[in-house]
Amino acid sequence: MPRATCPNCQRPLATCYCSALVKLSNNIKVLIIQHPLEATHPFNTGRMAKLCLSNSELIIAETLSNTDLKNMLGIPSALLYPSLSWLPATPEIGDSVNEDAITPAIQQLIVIDASWRKSKKMLHLHPALQNLPRVNLSGGLASQYQIRKTSISNGLSTIESIAQAMQQLEHHAEFKQMLMPFEKMIALQQASYQKTQKKPT
């Protein structure tokens, strides 16, 4: 018999993090393009970010039609992604840019929620996303994501990346509050793991 799950966060009831969710108002829309494999992953922080931000949208897809892309990019947008050598040179938006200059130029932040390998494939399939201005994260990057490892040095989870990017782009709110359900999910998962380890064999 399948375990009962929360209809909101879609986690098992024993590890539901909804009591720690926050609702933050953001002027810049956050559009999360989530790879289908992430949608079914138990540690789905893209969905968690969607639940925390009032002005956000989650699309589950690996490929998008030209019509979908055109509609999606109908407003000035930027891509949250490192400026890697294989990507086209585009304007970079970092913490040093004055917020007053950023806000009118960017109305939407696009985030790819996928493993690094899958995210590269998704960008290769969508040149229009490659050519967007990019938001680069500044400062020391240290993930709290102890329950899921990444092969990339200084790699962050999707919700950690969004929280830091939005804090750089909009200073009126404390977007680090988004990490409260993330931290609760980690604590619950670790407690569940420790409980399992203590069971007699």
Per residue in 131-156, pLDDT tens? 999 998 865 555 555 544 545 555 78
- Give residue 101's pLDDT: 47
Q: 66: exposed, middle or buried (C-beta count within 10 Å: 0-12, 13-18, 19+)? A: exposed
Give the tokens for residue 101: 């200059």
Residue ranges in the chain whose pLDDT is less than 50: 96-97, 100-101, 103, 147-148, 150
Q: Report the predicted TM-score, pTM, of the whole model to 2 decimal places.
A: 0.85
CA distances from 96 to 26, 138, 199 (A): 20, 9, 52
What's the rounded Cα separation, in Å, for the pair 177 and 155? 20
pLDDT at 107: 94
Q: Under a CB-based contact definition with an 8 Å cutoff, are residues 135 and 169 in contact? A: yes
**pLDDT at position 93:** 83
